[in-house]
């Protein structure tokens, strides 16, 4: 099994840190994925990712919104922006799924109705 992390393009602190072999700090990112808008990976999280992750891919805010829309329209599930990043990576082709089986965690309903509506409508 391969483990691939997903981050918003503007908040690639984990990707940069894994490439550097140590935690690095970036400016606090501006992204709709506010749960991933951190300047530095956590110490424990970085240690786990360093040991288990096979890489990190990046997705745009627009791809995150499309993943949220897909989940709502086809799966009938509301997911928050940060929780939608793995689905965004799969739908945008950032992850090569064929011929493998793919499992992803699309988590969190921590988005209120107005914010969800605003994101899907482009407001």
Question: What pLDDT, on a 0 to 100 scale, did the predictor assign at position 95?
Answer: 83
Question: What pLDDT, on a 0 to 100 scale, did the predictor assign at position 103?
Answer: 86
Question: What pLDDT, on a 0 to 100 scale, did the predictor assign at position 109?
Answer: 80
Query: Which 3 state secondary structure label does DSSP give 57?
Result: strand
Angle among Cα 43, 63, 75 to the nearest 5 degrees reads: 95
pLDDT tens digits, 57-89 = 999 999 999 999 999 999 999 999 999 999 999
Matching residue, tokens 């989940």: 71
Question: What pLDDT, on a 0 to 100 scale, did the predictor assign at position 97?
Answer: 63
Pick out the chain residues at pLDDT < 50: none
Asked if residue 39 has a cis previous peptide bond (ω within 30° of 0), the answer is no
């Amino acid at each position: 099994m391969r483990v691939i992390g997903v981050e918003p393009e503007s908040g690639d602190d984990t990707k940069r840190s894994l490439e550097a072999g140590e935690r690095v700090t970036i400016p606090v990112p501006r992204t709709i994925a506010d749960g991933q808008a951190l300047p530095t990976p956590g110490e424990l999280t970085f240690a786990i990712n360093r040991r288990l992750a096979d890489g990190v891919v990046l997705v745009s805010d627009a791809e995150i919104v499309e993943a949220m829309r897909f989940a709502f329209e086809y799966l009938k599930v509301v997911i928050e922006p940060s929780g939608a990043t793995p689905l965004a990576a799969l739908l945008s082709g950032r992850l090569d799924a064929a011929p493998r089986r793919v499992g992803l965690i699309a988590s969190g309903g921590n988005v209120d109705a107005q914010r969800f509506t605003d994101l899907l409508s482009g407001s």
